[in-house]
Amino acid sequence: MTTSFGTTTGTLTPTDPKIRFQSFTGLKSSNSIALTRNLRVFPLPFCTPTLIRAVSTPLKPETSTAEPKRSKVEIFKEQSNFIRYPLNEEIYTDTPNINEASTQLIKFHGSYQQYNRDERGTRSYSFMLRTKNPGGKVPNQLYLTMDDLADQFGIGTLRLTTRQTFQLHGVLKKDLKTVMSTIIRNMGSTLGACGDLNRNVLAPAAPFMTKEYKFAQETAENIAALLTPQSGFYYDVWVDGEKFMTSEPPEVVKARNDNSHGTNFPDSPEPIYGTQFLPRKFKIAVTVPTDNSVDILTNDIGVVVVFDENGEPQGFNIYVGGGMGRTHRQETTFPRLGEPLGYVPKGDILYAIKAIVATQRDHGRRDDRKYSRMKYLISSWGIEKFRNVVEQYYGKKFEPFHELPEWEFKSYLGWHEQGDGALFCGLHVDNGRIGGKMKKTLREVIEKYNLNVRITPNQNLILCDIRSAWRRPITTVLAQAGLLHPRYVDPLNLTAMACPAFPLCPLAITEAERGIPDILKRVRAVFEKVGLKYSESIVIRVTGCPNGCARPYMAELGLVGDGPNSYQIWLGGTPNQTQLARTFMNKVKVQDLEKVFEPLFYYWKRKRQPKESFGDFTTRMGFEKLHELVDKWEGPVQSPVRYNLKPFADKETYEAMEELAKLQNKSPHQLAMEVIRNFVAAQQNG
């Protein structure tokens, strides 16, 4: 039976180890019933009699009847029985790794296969698990569980990601099911944290009890629920089909099931995703006006709550088309900022989100994964055509975008009032890596005071629901573990980010997390050398490859690995993450960074306008001029010696002081000022 939306259903009772299934090459528009069919043979993914439902495959519509070219991953998805086979068999084999198809499919379950690239010879395979925590919310029980799992099955550390989740590294294949099931049974999930579907939905991590922040968090959770896979593959593989689904708001269920405008696959186990899911990963963030803690413009969809003068939510502005990933030396790949799509009333947000996802699902490229993100579809079509197509799925016209105030980056570090009588404490965690004494102390505090936590998009941690009486003892014990109040942390570190890169990421070209501590120290040394104050800072982000996991293309200074011990340098982002950086130099060896940093920071110090950020300065000066300054750099210009400085009566006095200063490895001015201070102090003391 074929519906007007191009879905054919049928039932088969498998009795043969190989069976022929019908597969379809495209979901056609709602006014067409034309389907392209072929037959494909593949091994049966299970051996018990089971009803199998063949569901149409959502692909970009084609004008010809020939099957369009598809990437290998698309074939894996189609033949997987909704992301089950062959992973459900591979996890039980004796090998330490899994096969190619399973390596792609396990991403949908929230895991990547990795190996230690520091080791030579036989590869030491392990798995990274990533949780899914909408808005960064982590219940007390889940935090303690992840802390235990890191010690028992991981490498002894937890990592906070730039999308408000945990990453657990070093899990062996034989332990995967134990670790996954433990997470699931302790209020957690890794479903959809990776793979070609909606990833973790970002929202401001601050647990403010205001209408604005609570509504943004609630919206993020509803969007995450709307786009969660429904076919049960995750629970079938890891907990033998036992379901751990929480109750969903009725508006989420209603929006998911609604097919008024052809967004769904009728009778499919995956009404939104179908057999093929999305062409590529999909990222969504929700926030309130001014709060750009979520890097709103870097997401496929950016959602901003719009309020009336009484603080009541009225609707949402929607941005579309952001994304960071690119490929070196392929200018047809690029980072991109989201752009305004329009405004929707608050009751329509789930339908609008679903319409955008359906547009990308049906029209995004599935032949070449380098170009499969929604940003390339929008760049190809233009925003007007994209809006028109989305409106067909949405069933309405988008209203004009509402004017928004200026964006600000907010870290929420330090102590703050939640608004309900309790406090929260934002803790800076270098590169999001929790280990050693810090990990032990955090565990003790979170367990002792029964605290819930939140992960920020800047790889930091927020302790929530703290009573005022607990503030002093918590502050003391955290400081002893190196978790200091932000005023005691180098300002450069507070906004810096890096991806994990070596040794476990298979895509890394050079160091990021392990390299950034030294890079930040060297930047600080250059600041001091050229006369910049300690309180001054710039946004620095480092990635080991061009995929951009730490969002380096929004940084004022972005370092992107482009060879062994080599970086591409990007300049021009802004402190509030609203402007895209551009490539400034290629193939800069890590030992040569000062040759670039020194002239840039020296001239920023001397030629900037009042309160001009480093990113704005580099944009105003222009890269041609900056290249000229770097190429001609011979070191900071020394100020000429002035003999009429007040500490010296004449040239002879200065020269005598200079000889004495040399003996103490000081400058004449330093020595003279010490003498004067000592004299004044002696007089004041009688």
Q: Which amino acid is at 438?
A: M
- CA distances to 281, 653, 662, 664, 665 from 658, in Å: 65, 9, 6, 10, 10
Q: Which DSSP state fits 503?
A: T
Q: Report the pLDDT value the prediction gives residue 641, as an integer from 0 to 100.
A: 45
The average pLDDT across 506-531 equals 97
The average pLDDT across 378-401 equals 98
The average pLDDT across 305-320 equals 95
Owner of token pair 């009772």? 13
How confident is residue 647, by pLDDT bands cut at 50, 70 and 90? low
Whether residue 519 is predicted with pLDDT greater than 60 in this model: the reply is: yes
Q: Which amino acid is at 481?
A: A
Cα-Cα-Cα-Cα dihedral of 205, 196, 236, 96, to 10°?
-100
How confident is residue 660, by pLDDT bands cut at 50, 70 and 90? confident
Kindly report which listed range (94-103, 514-523, 643-652) carries the lowest average pLDDT score: 643-652
Q: Give residues with Cβ within 8 angstroms of 101, minimum separation 6.
A: 76, 79, 80, 86, 87
Residue 313: cis peptide before it, omega within 30 degrees of 0: no
Burial environment of residue 664 by CB neighbours within 10 A (0 to 12, 13 to 18, 19 or more): exposed
The average pLDDT across 501-513 equals 95
Owner of token pair 């959502």? 58
- From 309, 305, 268, select the one nearest 286 (Cα to Cα): 305
Round the average pLDDT of the chain to a whole number and report it.
88
The pLDDT tens digits for 108-120 are 999 999 999 999 8
Rounded Cα–Cα distance for residues 58 and 412 (Å): 42
Whether residue 408 is predicted with pLDDT greater than 90 in this model: the reply is: yes
Q: What is the 3-state secondary structure (H, E, C) of 542-576?
A: EECCCCCCCCHHHCCEEEEEEECCEEEEEECCCCC
Whether residue 643 is predicted with pLDDT greater than 50 in this model: the reply is: no
For the record, the structure tokens of 633 come out as 């750099």
Q: Give residues with Cβ within 8 angstroms of 255, minimum separation 6.
A: 226, 350, 351, 354
Domain map (residue ranges) of the chain: 74-203+207-394, 414-488, 495-632, 651-683
Burial environment of residue 106 by CB neighbours within 10 A (0 to 12, 13 to 18, 19 or more): buried
Kindly report which listed range (41-50, 358-367, 380-389) carries the lowest average pLDDT score: 41-50
Query: What is the side-by-side order of every strand in the sheet holding 166-171?
Result: 111-115, 125-130, 166-171, 158-160, 433-434
For the record, the structure tokens of 333 come out as 């790949």
- From 76, 58, 74, 55, select the one nearest 12 (Cα to Cα): 55
How confident is residue 50, by pLDDT bands cut at 50, 70 and 90? very low
Q: Report the pLDDT value the prediction gives residue 31, as an integer from 0 to 100.
A: 32
Rounded Cα–Cα distance for residues 230 and 34 (Å): 27
Rounded Cα–Cα distance for residues 61 and 58 (Å): 9
Asked if 462 and 143 touch (Cβ cutoff 8 Å), the reply is no
Rounded Cα–Cα distance for residues 363 and 245 (Å): 31
Owner of token pair 């032990």? 440
The average pLDDT across 310-322 equals 96
The pLDDT tens digits for 212-224 are 999 999 999 999 9
Establish whether domains 74-203+207-394 and 414-488 are of one fold.
no
- From 145, 173, 107, 169, select the one nearest 433 (Cα to Cα): 169
Asked if 7 and 266 touch (Cβ cutoff 8 Å), the reply is yes
Q: Report the pLDDT value the prediction gives residue 648, as an integer from 0 to 100.
A: 60
For the record, the structure tokens of 645 come out as 């400085």
Whether residue 666 is predicted with pLDDT greater than 70 in this model: the reply is: no
Whether residue 342 is predicted with pLDDT greater than 90 in this model: the reply is: yes
How confident is residue 48, by pLDDT bands cut at 50, 70 and 90? very low
- From 482, 493, 553, select the one nearest 517 (Cα to Cα): 493
- Tell me the CATH architecture of domain 414-488: Alpha-Beta Complex (3.90)
Q: Report the pLDDT value the prediction gives residue 587, as an integer from 0 to 100.
A: 97
Between β-strands 557-563 and 540-543, what pairing exists: parallel, antiparallel or unpaired? parallel
Q: Which carries the bigger pLDDT value, residue 667 or residue 534?
A: 534
Whether residue 679 is predicted with pLDDT greater than 80 in this model: the reply is: no
Neighbours of 419 (CB within 10 A): 13
Q: Report the pLDDT value the prediction gives residue 126, as an integer from 0 to 100.
A: 98
Whether residue 642 is predicted with pLDDT greater than 50 in this model: the reply is: no
For the record, the structure tokens of 122 come out as 């036989």
Cα-Cα-Cα-Cα dihedral of 107, 109, 112, 113, to 10°?
-110
Q: Which carries the bigger pLDDT value, residue 204 or residue 15?
A: 204
Kindly report which listed range (25-29, 176-180, 491-495, 628-632) carries the lowest average pLDDT score: 25-29
Q: Which carries the bigger pLDDT value, residue 650 or residue 68?
A: 68
**In the chain, % of residues over pLDDT 70:** 85
Q: What is the 3-state secondary structure (H, E, C) of 610-644?
A: CCCCHHHHHHHHCHHHHHHHHHCCCCCCCCCCCCC
Rounded Cα–Cα distance for residues 457 and 520 (Å): 20
Interior/surface letters 578-601, b for 16+ CB within 10 angstroms, e for the rest: bbbbebbbeebebeebeebbbbbb
Rounded Cα–Cα distance for residues 439 and 148 (Å): 11
Rounded Cα–Cα distance for residues 259 and 379 (Å): 28
Query: In a 3-state reduction of DSSP, which class is residue 460?
Result: coil
Of 3.40.50.300, 3.30.413.10, 3.30.1390.20, 3.30.365.10, the CATH number of 74-203+207-394 is: 3.30.413.10
- From 217, 216, 224, 225, select the one nearest 313 (Cα to Cα): 216
The pLDDT tens digits for 236-257 are 999 999 987 678 999 999 999 9
Most confident range, picked from 503-507, 598-602, 660-664: 598-602
- CA distances to 116, 503, 611 from 120, in Å: 9, 12, 50
The pLDDT tens digits for 154-189 are 999 999 999 999 999 999 999 999 999 999 999 999
- Residue 328, phi then psi, degrees to nearest 5: -55, 140
Rounded Cα–Cα distance for residues 571 and 533 (Å): 21
Whether residue 646 is predicted with pLDDT greater than 60 in this model: the reply is: no
How confident is residue 664, by pLDDT bands cut at 50, 70 and 90? low
Q: Report the pLDDT value the prediction gives residue 356, as an integer from 0 to 100.
A: 98
Asked if 317 and 413 touch (Cβ cutoff 8 Å), the reply is no
For the record, the structure tokens of 488 come out as 């005691």
Query: What is the side-by-side order of every strand in the sheet holding 301-307?
Result: 284-287, 301-307, 313-320, 339-345
The pLDDT tens digits for 572-623 are 999 999 999 999 999 999 999 999 999 999 999 999 999 999 999 999 999 9
Rounded Cα–Cα distance for residues 54 and 265 (Å): 11
The average pLDDT across 57-65 equals 45
Q: Report the pLDDT value the prediction gives residue 204, as an integer from 0 to 100.
A: 98
Q: What value does the CA radius of gyration of the chain take, rounded to a whole number of Å?
A: 28
Query: In a 3-state reduction of DSSP, which class is residue 387?
Result: helix
Kindly report which listed range (88-102, 437-451, 542-556, 659-673) carries the lowest average pLDDT score: 659-673
Domain 495-632 has CATH 3.30.413.10: yes
**In the chain, % of residues over pLDDT 90:** 81
Whether residue 290 is predicted with pLDDT greater than 90 in this model: the reply is: yes
Q: Report the pLDDT value the prediction gives residue 672, as an integer from 0 to 100.
A: 72
